[in-house]
Amino acid sequence: MIRLIVGKKGTGKTKKLITLANEAVENSNGNVVVIEKGSKLTYDVTHKARLIDTEHYSISGYDTFFGFLSGLCAGNYDVTDVLVDSTFKIGGTNFDEFAEFVEKVNTLAAKTDTQFTFLVSADESELPQSLKAVAEKVV
């Protein structure tokens, strides 16, 4: 399953991600992975979650990012939750490419029984129609 947490910069998306990650660790029977660009969440996310900085792996663009997520799931079948901060900083701000990426990740999620959560710095009205069904606006 895919979830998009959508809102402009400064609306509390990262705070919500931290809460979701810590709750997922408590409720999961597997592994929780938090992906970010940079290492700003080190002290906010519980040490029980796997924190990955995309800069260490030179990940940029949605094709590379999808390959990384696929490898993550293939290498560890116990991954139950993947939460991604700063999605547009990792993949780019092209909404068409992002929509295609989400479609591919949705297929991956179904095959691996993994919950993916992406933070998207945009207004919900900017999203393509295909993404609005999975978008959750931060209040």
> What DSSP string describes 3-55?
EEEEE-TTSSHHHHHHHHHHHHHHH-SSEEEEEESSS--TTTS-TTSEEEEGG
* Residue position matching structure tokens 């979830």: 3
Q: Please, what sign has the CA dihedral across residues 94, 97, 99, 102?
A: negative
16-68 residue pLDDT tens: 999 999 999 999 999 999 999 988 888 788 889 999 999 999 999 999 999 99
pTM of the model as a whole:
0.91
Domain at 2-137, CATH homologous superfamily: P-loop containing nucleotide triphosphate hydrolases (3.40.50.300)
64-117 residue pLDDT tens: 999 999 999 999 889 999 999 999 999 999 999 999 999 999 999 999 999 999
